[in-house]
Amino acid sequence: MILMKYISTRGGINPVSFSDSVLMGLANDGGLLLPSEIPDVSANLADWRKMSFVDLAFAVMSEFTDLPHKDLRAILSRSYLSFRHPEITPLVSVGNIHVLELFHGPTLAFKDVALQFLGNLFEYLMKSGGLHLNILGATSGDTGSAAIAGIKGRDRIRIFVLHPHGRTSKTQELQMTTVLDENVHNIAVDGTFDDCQMIVKSLFNDLEFKSKYALGSINSINWARLLAQVVYYFYAAFRAMDITSADRVSFSVPTGNFGDIFAGYMAARMGLPVEKLVLATNENDILSRFFQTGVYIPAEVQATISPSMDIQVASNFERYLYYKLSEDSGRLRDMMNRFESERRISLEVADGEKVDDLINACSVDTVSTLRTIGDFYNNYGYLLDPHSAVGVCAGVQNLEKRVPMICLATAHAAKFSQAIIDAVGKDIAKHPLIDGLAGLPTRCLVARASVDEIRSCIEAVCNKGAND
Ligand SMILES: *Cc1c(COP(=O)(O)O)cnc(C)c1O
């Protein structure tokens, strides 16, 4: 077997191994890392269909990684122990769609599927290389808690998460600040999410600081996160084929950073028989506008009831563009450079043609999202969270005869109980993990929105650790 190498979308780095790509995060030339080729797994599908989630994860990932097989297996077995469902990501038929429940992990959101794996993977890489890592990230809510849950209590890794003080939901704040493990450092910044992101970006750009403190990143530009997500596209397609005896499936994916849906795009390119990928956005519709017109122009971010999708510039979109431009990194680099100055990308689309035959794009507004939550509760007794409801609404609009529609459910409704109250008029979205947060002790530092102040916080923690 030839080991997969990783290249940058912008063509400016020498190919690196999987392990190095995980530690690099963003490619050193500013691009995003991708496997140098996409394996064709069509011949494996019949075997893979019989596998459990963890065995399938091993089969999919061993196409892409350089880890010794027994180590990869051990990492995967550990990673999914924290899920509360034996199937990890079960597929549930509701009305005439299939809901892929991705929220059975420790923080009740789909990001756990990747971040539980990434936490174990980081720990393994640090141990085997005798290294240490300080993870630094900014969050508007969901990513922070899933990252903390993936990293807490691990050897050789600390995590620093910046959130805007008082601007996340109370539930999101408690999911982060009630984690008291020594290696977890929450910092509430007196400012907005943009301030938090700006501070994190400046610290990563301070190359001396970055290397002195071995800063690492856990956001969805990390290829290992996407790889973990490719697995459930295969798993769900097989379950839908078992139930319906169809030989092709479609997926509807609520989208923010184009991470989750890009994993589906990879699964299709690997040979999974995917009829359509439905890309569903909320009112922040830059991606759905792009797939309808070929023009990509950011607008102001609007706050919605599906806050984890309130994103304009989608960090993983560059990966898709690279393939769209036939893997021409020179053209891609020009396009991204021009985007920096002109804030606009446009592709030529012939009359009557689509940007991509595989992708149907749809923007779903708040009224339709609430109506979808209400309908699914009233008709089927099934509660959708507002992010999942955006995907379900778009999925229902794109139903085709004899093609099962798999709608990705990305969070448990209890995480967004206010939207449920607005949709069905009752406070019925409950989960013991959320109810149990009230009254727990918390730990969190409060800091001004200043790069220097956050830099000092990190130095203080790391230097104290060194003297213990
Ligand atoms: C992060 C998130 C999304 C969007 O995922 P992307 O990979 O950014 O497209 C959707 N729903 C929930 C609940 C999320 O936390």
**Which percentage of the chain shows pLDDT scores above 90?**
84
Q: What is the pLDDT of residues 18-41, one digit of tens each?
A: 999 998 888 888 899 999 999 999
Catalytic residue among 5, 50, 111, 401: 111
User: Whose alpha carbon is nearest atom 1 of ligand 1?
Assistant: 308
Is residue 468 scored above 80 in pLDDT? Answer: no
What is the pLDDT, as a whole number, of residue 2?
65
Is residue 221 scored above 90 in pLDDT? Answer: no
Please state which of the ranges 42-51, 117-126, 160-169 shows the lowest mean pLDDT. 160-169
Helix (H) or strand (E) segment spanning residue 117: helix 111-129
Q: What is the pLDDT of residues 229-265, one digit of tens each?
A: 999 999 999 999 999 999 999 999 999 989 999 999 9
Report CA(262)–ligand 1 centroid distance (Å): 12
Reduced to 3 states, what is the DSSP secondary structure of residue 260? helix
What is the pLDDT, as a whole number, of residue 205?
83
Atom number, ligand 1, closest to the C-alpha of residue 261:
9
Please state which of the ranges 99-103, 184-188, 346-350 shows the lowest mean pLDDT. 346-350
Q: What value does the mean pLDDT of the chain take?
A: 94
What is the pLDDT, as a whole number, of residue 466?
61
Q: Is 324 a catalytic residue?
A: no
As a whole number, mean pLDDT of residues 215-222 equals 83
Report CA(131)–ligand 1 centroid distance (Å): 31
**CA–CA separation, 103 vs 413, rounded Å?**
9
- Which of 285, 309, 393 to probe ligand 1 with, by most ligand atoms within 8 A of CB? 309
Q: For residue 370, name the pLDDT band (cuts at 50, 70, 90).
A: very high
As a whole number, mean pLDDT of residues 379-402 equals 97
Atom number, ligand 1, closest to the C-alpha of residue 314:
8
What are the contacts of 320-325 at 24+ separation with CB within 8 A? 320/258, 320/262, 320/265, 321/9, 321/345, 322/9, 322/32, 322/34, 323/265, 323/269, 324/355, 324/356
Report CA(129)–ligand 1 centroid distance (Å): 32
Is residue 277 scored above 80 in pLDDT? Answer: yes
What is the pLDDT, as a whole number, of residue 311?
84
Q: How many residues does the chain have?
A: 468
- Which of 102, 169, 218, 308 to probe ligand 1 with, by most ligand atoms within 8 A of CB? 308
Q: For residue 217, name the pLDDT band (cuts at 50, 70, 90).
A: confident
**CA–CA separation, 377 vs 127, rounded Å?**
47
Report CA(255)–ligand 1 centroid distance (Å): 6
Q: Strand 33-35 relative to strand 6-8: parallel, antiparallel, unpaired?
A: antiparallel
Is residue 422 scored above 90 in pLDDT? Answer: yes
Is residue 270 scored above 60 in pLDDT? Answer: yes
What is the pLDDT, as a whole number, of residue 310?
87
As a whole number, mean pLDDT of residues 200-223 equals 88
Residue 447 · residue 193 · CB < 8 Å: no
Is residue 326 scored above 80 in pLDDT? Answer: yes
Which 8-state DSSP code applies to residue 138? E
User: Whose alpha carbon is nearest atom 2 of ligand 1?
Assistant: 308
Report CA(309)–ligand 1 centroid distance (Å): 6
Q: For residue 4, name the pLDDT band (cuts at 50, 70, 90).
A: very high
Atom number, ligand 1, closest to the C-alpha of residue 103:
13
Contacts of residue 256, Cβ cutoff 8 Å, sequence gap at least 6 = 281, 284, 308, 309, 310, 311, 314
- Which of 145, 175, 257, 311 to probe ligand 1 with, by most ligand atoms within 8 A of CB? 257
Atom number, ligand 1, closest to the C-alpha of residue 146:
15
Q: Strand 184-190 relative to strand 445-448: parallel, antiparallel, unpaired?
A: parallel
Burial class (CB in 10 A: 0-12, 13-18, 19+), 297: middle
Residue 109 · residue 116 · CB < 8 Å: no
Atom number, ligand 1, closest to the C-alpha of residue 254:
10
Choice between 210 and 108, residue whose per-residue pLDDT is larger: 108
Q: For residue 300, name the pLDDT band (cuts at 50, 70, 90).
A: confident
Give the pocket of ligand 1 (CB within 6 Å): 109, 111, 142, 220, 254-260, 308-309, 387, 410-411
As a whole number, mean pLDDT of residues 378-401 equals 98
Is residue 66 scored above 80 in pLDDT? Answer: yes
Q: Which of 413, 427, 461 is nearest to 99 (CA)?
A: 413
Most confident of 166-175, 217-226, 378-387: 378-387
Atom number, ligand 1, closest to the C-alpha of residue 257:
8
> Can you name the residues that pair with 180 across neighbouring β-strands?
none
Q: For residue 96, name the pLDDT band (cuts at 50, 70, 90).
A: very high
Report CA(232)–ligand 1 centroid distance (Å): 15
Q: For residue 218, name the pLDDT band (cuts at 50, 70, 90).
A: confident
Report CA(352)–ligand 1 centroid distance (Å): 31
Q: For residue 467, name the pLDDT band (cuts at 50, 70, 90).
A: low
